């Protein structure tokens, strides 16, 4: 599964991402950006917000699994004989 991540050790709170894509970003209590949604991670607005970050603090992380978007294994994919990813599972 893909996951939108803001590295708060890099974020400077400039707000570009919030201004471009308020559906995915907002400010936290420390006035730094945080991801508020994990839905629709392929939108043009999200891509623009990621590209606009002056310190490259935003990324979309994928899991370690090659199962595709239907993978139900979570972030720590350890598929084996009980893989639930479908016929094209490449984890085992």
Q: Which two tokens stand for residue 8?
A: 């708060």
Task: Answer yes or no: is pLDDT of 91 > 70.
Answer: no
Task: Answer yes or no: is pLDDT of 85 > 90.
Answer: no
Q: What is the pLDDT of residue 61?
A: 86
Q: What is the pLDDT of residue 40?
A: 92
Radius of gyration, CA atoms only, the chain = 16
User: Average pLDDT for residues 69-89, to the nearest whole number?
Assistant: 60
pTM given for the model? 0.69
User: Average pLDDT for residues 24-53, to the nearest whole number?
Assistant: 96
More confident residue, 37 or 76: 37
Distance CA 62, CA 82 (A): 21
Residues 91, 34 contacting (CB under 8 angstroms) = no
Q: Which two tokens stand for residue 67?
A: 């199962």
Q: What is the dihedral of CA 39, 26, 21, 61, to 10 degrees?
A: -50
């Amino acid at each position: 599964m893909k996951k939108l991540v803001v590295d708060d050790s890099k974020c400077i709170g400039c707000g570009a991402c919030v201004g471009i894509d308020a559906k995915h970003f907002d400010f936290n209590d420390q006035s730094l950006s945080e991801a508020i949604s994990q839905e629709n991670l392929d939108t043009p607005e999200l891509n623009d917000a990621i590209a606009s970050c002056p310190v490259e603090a935003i990324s979309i992380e994928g899991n370690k699994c090659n199962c595709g978007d239907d993978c139900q294994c979570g972030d720590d994919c350890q598929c084996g004989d009980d893989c639930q990813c479908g016929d094209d599972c490449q984890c085992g």
